[in-house]
Amino acid sequence: MGTKSFVKGLAAGAVIGAAVGVATGLLNAPKSGKELRKDFADYANKMRMDVEKMLKNAKKVTKETYDTAVEEVTKLYDKVKSIDKEDLAALKEKLLAEWEVVVKKLQK
């Protein structure tokens, strides 16, 4: 099984369920700017955890493997139509910038 197949298969169930729940909760009630920033941070953490879950069983995590995992998580979250495209793009960039932190965490 290739890395991309592994990532896609592992991510599909966990991420879609989490994304639907988070998106529904985020977007159903009007919120203040402070609350929206907190929600954005929470969303980023949930996406990071999904990436970590996908990479947990990988023998070696390279930048390419990490980027692939982030891309797959982003695609799955994008399927949830209530997520703003700009917010999702910002979350993806944040995750891509944090790859060394995530890899170090996975190596512990």
For 54-65, how does the pLDDT look when each residue is reduced to its tens digit (9 = 90+)?
A: 898 888 889 999
Give mean pLDDT, residues 79-106.
Answer: 86
At CB < 8 A and 24+ separation, what contacts does 51-54 make?
Answer: 51/95, 51/102, 52/102, 52/105, 52/106, 53/10, 53/11, 53/14, 54/6, 54/7, 54/10, 54/11
pLDDT beyond 90 at 96: yes
How far apart CA 58 and CA 24 sit, in angstroms, is 31
pLDDT at 69: 93
For 50, residues 6+ apart whose C-beta sits below 8 A from its C-beta are: 11, 14, 15, 18, 73, 76
Residue 67's pLDDT is what? 94
Q: In this predicted structure, what is the pLDDT of residue 4?
A: 64
pLDDT at 80 over 60: yes
**CA-CA distance, 67 to 78, in Å (whole number)?**
16
Q: Is pLDDT of 100 > 70?
A: yes
User: Considering the entire predicted model, what is its pTM?
Assistant: 0.66
Q: Average pLDDT in the 74-97 region?
A: 87
Cα–Cα distance, 65 to 96 (Å, whole number): 11
Compute the CA torsion angle 34, 35, 36, 41 (nearest 10 deg).
90
Nearest CA-CA partner of 73 in 22, 15, 30: 15
